[in-house]
Structure 1
Amino acid sequence: MGTKTSINPYTGKKIDSFKTHTKTEVKEILSQADKRFYKWRETSYSERKKLMLAAALELKKNKKEYAQTMTNEMGKPIKQAIAEIEKCAWVCEYYAEHAEKQLSNETIKTDAHKSYVSYEPIGVVLAVMPWNYPFWQVFRFAAPALMAGNIGVLKHASNVFGSALNIEKVFKRAGFPEYCFTTLKVGSDMIEEIIENPIVKAVTLTGSGPAGSSVASIAGKNIKKSVLELGGNNALVVLNDCDIDTTIDTCVQARFQNTGQSCIAGKRLLVDASISEEFIQNLIKKVRELKSGDPMDEETYIGTLAREDLAQDLEKQVSATIQAGAKLEIGGKRQNAYFEPTVVSSVTSDMAMFKEETFGPALSITTFETIEEAIELSNTSKFGLGVSIFSENIEAAEKLAYRFDEGAVFINELVKSDPRLPFGGVKESGYGRELSNHGITEFVNRKTVYINK
């Protein structure tokens, strides 16, 4: 039995140590989860709804407790951490209210006396989740999975085991039966064996491309369903007829919230050359106003990155981009796990900050002359999670939406996840969808029922 230690990235001090589960313990947890499934799938939607609403209430009631653990473990500013917990309550409420209708039998007229599709749970589903949104990434899987009658087991990032255990605590406090949702305290080296266990029927992963590729290959080898939500390099496409002040506010939030540690952050700012000078200068003023500091301070907007090595990686990307000829407008300095809010202009498509996903508070700026060039620049990415287009001419912008190779197009808004809308990407941003009715049907058996007299 080993241990995993969590370190506060702001103070550098140890928070806690967690004894990891042994292989024997993991097998026992999976066995108990499997037994629970055959009872859980028999429960009514009204019973599941009652429990899921209780989970939402628990999240709201103890949001500060859960948010503080999150902030201590990965440095998220406390106000943003509380907002994350509140969003988790929303997704619980959403599926509590809508799951039954979303999974109701779909009657299809054929030559049969009666024929329909039923949506039935498949069993134990493994969730492999990252540290950047320690609660939200998990709940957007767990709420629909449990409401569908499935069982959830979580392999969370090792630096947020406290949050992982808190999520398990939420479901226990809400009254869910034991083993409906369980945290596996294991390292990445155990994932393959867990997926290969016949009890596990499917896997969902939010994380990096290499992690997704590995999990997908293991799942594929074992003929198991997988859903992947991977990296992103979203463009913020600013047309010359935009509302400059409003657009700047949105772009700053899109890039710098969660200290820039988000797959759906706007990372590449593409701005029309005719307004670029004014736009960049006003943007820099807004970035300069962002308050950095103690993540536990409610006034803090920029905290630390989750680990010092992540800040070092960002530092290398920014340095390489500047050395290649880009201009540092503001920021660029690192201290331990803290990285200054940074803006780099004159970035071309062959530079590191354009080609690679930057996971931290650093924004690259590239100018374009025509909308054709803007679309080409946006699509010149191996990722395809989302894009934001800013224009006063909404009808014209909407007509451009289909030309962007993305899972989502947001006009005059940052890319964000919403329980009511499907969420996911194309290309190397993954496959499958989370949230909405599309998400809840990812892990069900779409069963054809055909009846003749």
Structure 2
Amino acid sequence: MYGCAIAIEDLFLESDFPDDIFRSVLTSNRRVERIIANKRIAAVTLTGSTKAGQAVAQTAGTYLKKCVLELGGSDPYIILDDADLDMAVEACVKGRLLNTGQSCIGAKRFIATEKIYDEFEQRFVAEMKAVTMGDPLNEFNQLGPIARGNIREDLLSQVNKSISMGAHLLCGGEINYDVEGFYYPATVLSNVQSGMPAYNQELFGPVASLIKVKGEQEAIHIANDTSYGLGAAIFTADVEKGKYIAEHELDAGCCFVNDFVKSDPRLPFGGIKDSGYGRELSIYGLHEFVNIKTVYIK
């Protein structure tokens, strides 16, 4: 899981930067507190689970170190009556399968108004069924393996528990243990309701939760009915309405209109509630790791 960090360090070492400008330290959880406590450490940032974020925040607070936490998410995507379904379905599938569904800003809950729900469900399920799964180094495959076996088993458990509580399995949901690698198929659940893991928890894999609502206000209520607040998206032909809902009514660190959520180095990125605090990227991300000094001269 540390290959990317080593690769980034190699790039710095191959450049003209000083040798100690970037370091990858492979360590255990029990040594993290000693690292954060070290006087040479001025600030801490974490991308990880909410549980890990709580632990890091507690340790950083003990030693009065600034920290930025980018944690889990259960991003809601709202599809309104007037949405362009071709665009919405394409964006929703991409948003759910980004990085094999293992993304904090991956689309998790799809909330569609009853007027267009049936057509959206039909199109969405058809696209998810058509996804090719296999070696991600093969450009024709759209879905690779889950990072670890225990993550895959946790995902399967969440899906099965949701089904036992009344969710309907529309596709996927079964593991082929004869295939080498921790693969999990593109899966769609409908009739997802509060109290189910597919509604309340983060599903860290290619599982989509479909929710039918009567109208716009119920959609917004359900979108916000979560402990997370990382990203959100809304699909509507009325861009001004979408902008208003994104700006004023959705509880999330970033809201997209007519597209799936993604990061951009020019824009601040981060969440609220159990998705963490502080911002990465852009000038706002830089400000998180500097101290503002006031100098007064008479």
- Structure (1 or 2) with the greater strand fraction: 1
**Aligned counterpart, 1:396:** 241
- Alignment pair present for 1:178 and 2:9: no
**Aligned counterpart, 1:135:** none
Which residues of 2 match residues 218-297 of structure 1 at below 5 A? 218-297=59-138
Which residues of 2 match residues 36-435 of structure 1 at below 5 A? 159-160=1-2, 162-336=3-177, 337-401=182-246, 402-435=248-281
Equivalent residue pairs, number:
293
- Match of 1:356, as an amino acid? Q
**CA offsets 1:279-312 (integer angstroms, 9 cap, x no match):** 1111111111211011221111101000111110
- Match of 1:257, as an amino acid? L
Distance 1:390 1:207 in 2: 28
- Match of 2:25, as an amino acid? L
- Match of 1:212, as an amino acid? G
Q: Give the TM-score taking structure 1 as reference length.
A: 0.64
- Match of 2:241, as an amino acid? A
Contact between 1:235 and 1:388, CA under 8 Å: does it hold in 2? yes
**Aligned counterpart, 1:446:** 292
Contact between 1:243 and 1:391, CA under 8 Å: does it hold in 2? yes
How far the C-alpha of 1:248 sits from its partner, in A, is 0.1
SS at match of 1:334: coil
Contact between 1:347 and 1:366, CA under 8 Å: does it hold in 2? yes
- Structure (1 or 2) with the greater helix fraction: 1
SS at match of 2:110: strand
- Match of 2:39, as an amino acid? P
- Match of 1:177, as an amino acid? P
Distance 2:258 2:18 in 1: 44
- Match of 2:144, as an amino acid? G
- Match of 1:290, as an amino acid? V
**Aligned counterpart, 1:108:** none
How far the C-alpha of 1:219 sits from its partner, in A, is 0.5
SS at match of 1:364: strand
Distance 1:163 1:422 in 2: 22
Contact between 1:408 and 1:425, CA under 8 Å: does it hold in 2? yes
How far the C-alpha of 1:371 sits from its partner, in A, is 1.1
How far the C-alpha of 1:378 sits from its partner, in A, is 0.5
Structure 1 residues not aligned, in runs of 5+: 1-158
Q: Give the TM-score taking structure 2 as reference length.
A: 0.96
SS at match of 1:339: coil
- Match of 2:252, as an amino acid? E
- Match of 1:370, as an amino acid? G
How far the C-alpha of 1:313 sits from its partner, in A, is 0.5
How far the C-alpha of 1:372 sits from its partner, in A, is 1.2
How far the C-alpha of 1:163 sits from its partner, in A, is 2.6
| Structure with larger Rg | 1
SS at match of 1:255: helix
SS at match of 1:383: coil
Distance 1:449 1:310 in 2: 51
Distance 1:372 1:296 in 2: 43
- Match of 1:198, as an amino acid? K
Q: Percent identity?
A: 43
How far the C-alpha of 1:273 sits from its partner, in A, is 1.0
Contact between 1:247 and 1:412, CA under 8 Å: does it hold in 2? yes
SS at match of 2:59: helix
SS at match of 1:349: coil
